[in-house]
């Protein structure tokens, strides 16, 4: 039965929440607001516009389709697709200047040359046990491969905490140790990572020392 249910987007509330989060960050830190799943029910485009006006620098989405809605709606800010983008769809991301998360080994694939270049954030699996590269050597290997391709650009390296909202942070701290090992390996190899990010909403609020270059906030906004 049709219930006539609808949602009202309160841009002022989103703006206020993002401003509060922005105030927790040191100057120069980037703030990615996740507007996945249609802005968590708020309407992705309107939520994105409100977040950017309040000081967000980047936007995160779950799929390339969601990213395209924002781009076609006039959003010019950096957008990162946090979900899986297939190699076949990657050219579309490049066309619209949308960065993707690289979590699978593309070494042996017969990839086309991307024009314009494809920007990628390499995902490190430190404990979510989903997608991503697990060992420091794996991460270094995929980045070395990226460096051989003039049509692909390393835009960032990141991980995601599984339990940063738990009362005890033992699991998240163990993840952070593994992530730091990856970063140390890259530094020792002379790899420059433009943007390092790990903190989700809970970690942003609870652990300022995990903010790195950018934080990713979703539901708390």
Tell me the residue range of the domain where 206 lies: 11-217
pLDDT of residue 2: 46
All residues at 6 or more sequence positions from 55 whose CB lies less than 8 Å from its CB, including other chains? 18, 19, 22, 31
- Whether residue 4 lies inside any domain: the answer is no
- Whether residue 42 lies inside any domain: the answer is yes
* Residue 49: CATH number of its domain: 3.20.20.10
Residue with tokens 């029910």: 41
- Whether residue 6 lies inside any domain: the answer is no
All residues at 6 or more sequence positions from 188 whose CB lies less than 8 Å from its CB, including other chains? none
- Whether residue 27 lies inside any domain: the answer is yes
- Whether residue 170 lies inside any domain: the answer is yes
**99-115 pLDDT per residue, tens:** 999 998 887 788 999 99
Handedness of CA 89, 218, 7, 78 (dihedral sign): negative
Q: What is the count of structural domains for the chain?
A: 1
- Whether residue 80 lies inside any domain: the answer is yes
- Whether residue 2 lies inside any domain: the answer is no
- State the Rg of the chain over Cα: 18
Task: With a cut of 50, list the residues of the chain below it in pLDDT.
Answer: 1-3, 5-6
pLDDT of residue 170: 79
- Whether residue 1 lies inside any domain: the answer is no
């Amino acid at each position: 039965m049709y219930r006539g249910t609808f949602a009202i987007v309160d841009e002022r509330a989103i703006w206020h929440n993002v401003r509060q989060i922005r105030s927790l960050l040191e100057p120069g830190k980037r703030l990615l607001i996740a507007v996945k799943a249609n802005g968590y029910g708020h309407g992705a485009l309107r939520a994105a516009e409100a977040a950017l006006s309040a000081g967000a620098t980047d936007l995160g989405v779950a799929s390339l389709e969601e990213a395209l809605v924002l781009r076609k709606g006039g959003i010019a800010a950096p957008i990162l697709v946090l979900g899986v983008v297939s190699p076949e769809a990657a050219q579309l991301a490049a066309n619209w200047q949308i960065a993707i998360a690289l979590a699978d080994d593309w070494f042996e694939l017969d990839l086309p040359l991307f024009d314009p270049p494809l920007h990628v954030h390499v995902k490190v699996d430190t404990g979510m046990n989903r997608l991503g590269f697990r060992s420091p050597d794996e991460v270094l290997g995929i980045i070395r491969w990226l460096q051989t391709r003039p049509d692909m650009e390393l835009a960032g390296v990141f991980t995601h905490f599984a339990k940063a909202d738990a009362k005890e942070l033992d699991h998240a701290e163990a993840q952070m140790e593994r992530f730091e090992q990856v970063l140390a390996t890259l530094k020792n190899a002379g790899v420059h990572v433009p943007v390092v990010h790990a903190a989700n909403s809970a970690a942003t609020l609870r652990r300022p020392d995990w903010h790195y270059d950018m934080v990713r906030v979703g539901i708390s906004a």
